[in-house]
Amino acid sequence: MNWVNAVVQGILLGGQYALIACGLSLAFGVMRIVNLAHGDLAICGAYLGLVLSSALGVPVWVTLPLLLPAAFAAGMALQVLLLGRALRHGVLAPVLVTFGLSVMIENLLQVAATSDPRGLNGGALTLASFSIGTLTVSWLFLAAFLTACAVLSGLQLALSRTSWGRQVRAIADDLDTARLVGINVRPVFAVVAGIAVATAALAGVFIGTIGTFDPLAGTSTLIFAFEAVVIGGIGSLAGTLVGGIALGVTQVVVGEVNQAYAVLAVHLLFLAVLVVRPGGLFTGHQPAREVLRWGALG
């Protein structure tokens, strides 16, 4: 393994982080909710993939047409039953509710599936790789990265080109004015939550195929996703991809030197970004301090 290889692997890993993070970023941008259960929902997606693929006896990819709509519906239900209600109790309630939800999910998974680490059946893709010179790239990692790019650009296109996207952006800009001009906010919220959970579940499937997962993996998944969002700049999907890549490259390159310091380096990168550019590394304009502190991060 050389440095070029480490950077390439890091970029590919960053795609996975961005895929988890985009739902978090979207939910925050539109609903002003930091979903502390987002990582756990991704892990739920992995467990659902495990159940479906072992029940049907097929690689997990084949189950995606079942899994993704189920995750989308779960996200809508979550928004309607829980998060929408929490939002009515002020800005702190969603934080408290999603943290409680995260605790419940992690422990229900432990009851239902024990705490043994599991992996997903990825079929022939799992071990396939190709080489360019000294560089060896796993098809699975490349697939995860390309999926992340496709999902993020698809979302970006939907937001900027469709009338639904225009509604979402209007709500993100100013909820009250959006209501005033006749946007029906609740269905938009439900669809956004559905997309957030579906992308999280998709990311969970990649996590489970590339490595292993256990019921408590959700919290670290959430932390990585959150760091990608903040490093890339809150509310920017392209920034989220770049933030994820920055995380991935840091983790793999530092891990090349000493594996024990890889995760620590990622956290320190995040804290350093908070100090130097709290609006994110890759956003053109830095929001005014007070807006960042009170408005945008309400």
Partner 1 sequence: MRRDVAGSRAARPSPSSPSSPSPPVAVSRWNRTASVFTGACVLAVVFLAVLPYWVGGPAEQPLITLLTFIAMASLWNLLAGFSALTSFGQQAYIGLGAYCLYLVALHGVSPFAGVLLAAAGAAVVSLPVSALVLRLSGGYFAVATLVVAAVFQIAATLSPSVGGTTGVSLPGLAGYGDLLREALTYWVTLAVAIASVAGVYLLVRRTFGLDARAVSSDPVAAASSGVRVRRIRLLAYVLAAGGTGAVGALVALQTLYVEPTSVFSVQYSVDMLFMVLVGGIGTIEGPIIGALLLFALQEWLSADGAWYLVIVGGLAVATTLVAPRGIWGLASERLGWTLLPIGYRVRGQDGPGPP
Residues at the contact surface with partner 1, assessed by CB under 8 A: 28, 33-36, 82, 85-86, 89, 91-104, 106-108, 110-111, 219-220, 222-223, 226-227, 230, 234, 260-261, 263-264, 267-268, 270-271, 274-275, 278, 290, 292-294, 297-298
For the CB of residue 78, give the shortest distance to partner 1 in the complex, in Å. Answer: 12
**Residue 84 or 194 with smaller CB distance to partner 1:** 84
**Residue 156 or 219 with smaller CB distance to partner 1:** 219
**Residue 28 or 61 with smaller CB distance to partner 1:** 28
For the CB of residue 159, give the shortest distance to partner 1 in the complex, in Å. Answer: 22
**Residue 11 or 82 with smaller CB distance to partner 1:** 82
**Residue 32 or 125 with smaller CB distance to partner 1:** 32
**Residue 118 or 126 with smaller CB distance to partner 1:** 118
For the CB of residue 108, give the shortest distance to partner 1 in the complex, in Å. Answer: 6
SS3 per residue for the chain: CCHHHHHHHHHHHHHHHHHHHHHHHHHHHHHCCCCCCHHHHHHHHHHHHHHHHHHHCCCHHHHHHHHHHHHHHHHHHHHHHHHHHHHCCCCHHHHHHHHHHHHHHHHHHHHHHCCCCECCCCHHHHCCEEEECCEEEEHHHHHHHHHHHHHHHHHHHHHHHCHHHHHHHHHHHCHHHHHHCCCCHHHHHHHHHHHHHHHHHHHHHHHHHHCCECCCHHHHHHHHHHHHHHHHCCCCHHHHHHHHHHHHHHHHHHHHHCHHHHHHHHHHHHHHHHHHCCCCCCCCCCCCHHHHHHHHCC
For the CB of residue 13, give the shortest distance to partner 1 in the complex, in Å. Answer: 18
Quick one: CA dihedral 84, 87, 88, 93, positive or negative? positive
For the CB of residue 138, give the shortest distance to partner 1 in the complex, in Å. Answer: 27
**Residue 112 or 157 with smaller CB distance to partner 1:** 112
**Residue 122 or 235 with smaller CB distance to partner 1:** 235
For the CB of residue 125, give the shortest distance to partner 1 in the complex, in Å. Answer: 32
Which amino acid makes up residue 26?
L
For the CB of residue 274, give the shortest distance to partner 1 in the complex, in Å. Answer: 5
Distance CA 11, CA 246 (A): 8
Phi, psi of 63, deg, nearest 5: -85, -5
User: Residue 17 in contact with residue 228, Cβ under 8 Å?
Assistant: yes
For the CB of residue 244, give the shortest distance to partner 1 in the complex, in Å. Answer: 16
Bridge partner list, 137: 130
